[in-house]
Structure 1
Amino acid sequence: MHRFSIIIVSWNALHHLQEFLPSVAKTHYDNYEIILANNASSDGSVEWVERQFPEVEIATFDKNYGYCGGNNRAVPYANGDILLFLNNDVAVEQDWLQGLNDTFDEDKKIAAVQPKMLSYENPEYFEYAGAAGGYLDKYGYPFCKGRIFDTLETDLGQYDSPSDILWGSGAALAIRKEVFEEMGGFDEDFEFHMEEIDLCWRIWNEGLKVRYCPKSVVYHLGGGSMPMGSPRKVYYNYRNNLRMIWKNASSGTLPYRFPIRYKLDIIAAFRSLFTGNIEEFKAIARAHKDFWKYFHRTQQKRNKLLESRKISTNPETMLSINLIWDYFLRGKRHFNELIDETHGNSHI
């Protein structure tokens, strides 16, 4: 039986802890611990947790280090062999850890696992952040089984088979502690968004696997830290996607994959401009500016990753589809429609 260290990063989110932590504390599993990674909260959340859940270990930091920094700094407090990064707005089923435990036991190459993620407010639907596990198209656009762009599928059991995925959502991501430490943790240059996709892509490039476990079910509220479509969220998504592709894409595909993605970003920016969404246009422009401003850091990280990389191609879970074309022009809204007889499930 694996020991799970459940790490919950929180900053001034007492309302979330009051609503969601009780379900985590009621977990039915014999070997786990809960660690609150407190990013210098000042709303009384630490005092509340100490009173209501004295078994929770609290790691308090001197300032708000965000998702990446808070989780990275909490890992030294963990005694388990499996780290489980859990957002503070996630409720869980009581037996959720057992399925994760069994998945890790299936294959030593399974380095990370994501549970099935449903909407907390509408549990019949998959949740945006992770749904039934994440993938990338050939130009680096992320999507999930059960969620493509803003289209959410109803959970009808269509994704109740375990499967390899390219990435698991950082809202509920279990990873072997030794792998996380060997990988250097989350890349704090990302700050927010796509840091988990970057980490999972690095895992695949090291010859390991990321897996989806439908027997483990969680319910995510989502959208709390940055509302959908906010300029700040747009900025991080565009900047970090470019960083992620440059760091991790195979040497054989980067020369054409990156320029095409870059051009698609420019088209998206001018579409925002022409439709009157000036703030989104500015956010994309700033994202590209900052990508180049700190490009040398990204290149240094790519060079280091190439030294340890075990596979020369991109992962099989990076599908050879054009998501923009299929979704907006061909009207394919569901994952099973993307993996049809035309595309198959081939990869580049």
Structure 2
Amino acid sequence: MPPDDAVCSVVIPAYNAAHVIGDQLLALSEQEEAPAFEVVVADNGSTDDLASVVGSWTDRLPRLRVVDASRGRGVSVARNVGIDHASTDRILICDADDVVAPTWVRAFADALVEHPLASGPAETRRLSGPSAGWVPIEERSTGLYETWGGRTYGLGGNTAMRREVWETVGGYDEDFPAGAEEIDFAWRAWDLGYRFTYVEDALLHYRIRTDLRGVLRQQYNSGRGTATLYDKFRPAEVVPKSLARRVHHELLLLRRFPWRLDGGARRRWLTLVAFEAGKLVEARRLGSPAP
């Protein structure tokens, strides 16, 4: 029996997130017209005081608990462990460093009555400030994200699903590089007939890293994930670049360095370089042509 008859479970993967998770827990404690829900924080082996910070919120979130997700490193491990420990069949996933809107739980809980898989919009400006403009991500999304062949997906940290979807798909691939693991999950779900529905009121305030090194690492990992995705699925509509085309592509990128523009433009250029580097490095490691 779910705790206190909770009808849905919010799963939060977390690693050394003591300094930011309070904002997310505050947002969850202020949900409007939400059904009873539990919060499961899946601790991926934190070395900070995450457990004590989370424990300080149990008076405002009485169905809040921490579970041990340290059997392996990575967000996919933490999501899988958190979902496995959830007490209900309606699973809502968010990240420790983001902030959900007041209507988030209600919107997703309602959507899962009719739909097995859902996602909502994300905006980046509130938590990120100027760094929101450094990365090739919309500052306010207006629909699901599209990939090759029109396949759609939602952000991993703004996803809701019935437990049957997670079980049928086989969970998140724990060997997949961070940065595209949610696309891999969405593609496998797509092949099994599951489709995302878009829930406008399930808004997420998404945090872009404000330090350049963190942003570049994030984009490098996204490039690795893209190469892994292509190697795993090999979509027919994606034609790998020949060596000549690849060299031409990279030379064009180098030529576009914004010599005379502001620092923001240079940071945006560096994020593109980091993404391309991650894609090429991972493709070479896999022995697969890069898309």
TM-score past 0.5 threshold: yes
SS at match of 2:200: strand
| In structure 1, C-alpha distance between the alignment counterparts of 2:105 and 2:147, rounded to whole Å | 30
Which amino acid letter does the alignment assign opposite residue 158 of structure 2? A
Partner in structure 1 of residue 82 of structure 2 = 74
Query: Match of 1:88, SS?
Result: coil
Using the TM superposition, give the Cα deviation of residue 240 of structure 1 relative to its aligned residue in structure 2, in angstroms. 1.4
Which residue of 198, 201, 219 maps to 2:184? 198
SS in 2 for 1:13: coil
Tell me which protein shows more helix as a share of its residues.
2
How do residues 312-323 of structure 1 correspond to structure 2 at under 5 angstroms? none
Shift of 1:207: 1.6
**Paired residue for 2:109?**
101
The answer on whether the counterparts of 1:11 and 1:64 sit within 8 Å (CA) in structure 2 is no
Deviations 1:264-291 (A, max 9, x none): 7655433344556899758745643433
Alignment partner of 1:180 is 2:180: no
Partners of 1:134 and 1:168 within 8 A in 2: yes
* CA shift digits 1:186-239 (9 cap, x unpaired): 222323111111211222221221111013333222336986751x33332222
TM-score normalised to structure 1 length = 0.63
Residues 234-261 of structure 1: per-residue CA shift (max 9 Å, x gap): 33222211222343355xxx2x514259
Summarize the Cα distance change of 1:220–1:233 in structure 2 as closer, same or farther, 3 Å threshold: closer
Q: Secondary structure at the match of 1:186?
A: coil
Contact 1:114 1:212 in 2 (8 A): yes
Structure 2 counterparts to residues 198-237 of structure 1, below 5 A: 198-223=184-209, 230=216, 232-237=217-222
> 2:201 & 2:169 partners in 1: Cα distance?
27
Tell me which amino acid in the other structure corresponds to 1:66: G
Match of 1:62 in 2: 70
Identity %: 21
* 2:224 paired with 1:239: yes
1:14 counterpart letter in structure 2: A
* Matching of residue 42 in structure 1 with residue 47 in structure 2: yes
Letter in 2 for 1:90: D
Give the 5 Å matches for 1:263-274. 267-274=248-255
Residue 292 of structure 1: how far off its partner (Å): 4.2
Aligned: 1:21 with 2:36: no
Going from structure 1 to structure 2, the CA distance change for 1:199 and 1:61 (only over 3 Å counts) comes to closer
Distance 2:246 2:148 in 1: 14
CA RMSD between the two structures: 3.7
C-alpha spacing 1:283/1:96, structure 2 compared with 1 (3 Å): closer
Label 1:99 to 1:44 Cα distance change in 2 as closer, same or farther (>3 A): same
Is 2:120 aligned against 1:135?
A: no
Contact 1:130 1:169 in 2 (8 A): no
Q: Flag structure 2 segments of 5+ consecutive residues without an equivalent.
A: 258-268
